[in-house]
Chains A and B, each alone.
Chain A
Amino acid sequence: MSDAPKTLPSCLDAPVLRQRGQREVFCGLTSIIWLHRKMQDAFFLVIGSRTCAHLLQSAAGVMIFAEPRFGTAILEETDLAGMADAQEEIDRQVERLLSRRGDIRRLFLVGSCPSEVIKLDLAKAAERLSAKFAPRVQVTNFTGSGIETTFTEGEDTCLAAMVPALPATEARQLMLVGALPDVVQDQGLDLLARMGVTDVTVLPSLRADDPVAVGPNTVFALTQPFLGGTCAALERRGARHIAAPFPFGEVGTTAWLRAIADEFGVSDAVFAAATDAPRARARRAIAQAAETLAGKSVFFFPDSQLEIPLARFLTGECGMTAIEIGAPYIHRQLVGPDLDLIPAGPQISEGQDVDLQLDRARAARADLTVCGLGLANPLEAEGLATKWAIELVFTPVHFYEQAGDLAGLFSRPLRRRGLLKVAAE
Chain B
Amino acid sequence: MSTINFAAREINCKIVYYGPGMSGKTTNLKQVFSKVPGHLRGEMVSLATEDERTLFFDFLPLDLGSVQGFKTRFHLYTVPGQVFYNASRKLILRGVDGIVFVADSAPNRLRANAESMRNLRENLAEHGIDVREVPIVLQVNKRDLPDALPTTMIRAVIDPRGELQMFEAMSDKGVGVFETLKTVSRLVLERLSKNK
The finding on whether chains A and B are genuine partners in a shared complex, rather than unrelated, reads no
Residues of B within 8 A of A (CB): none
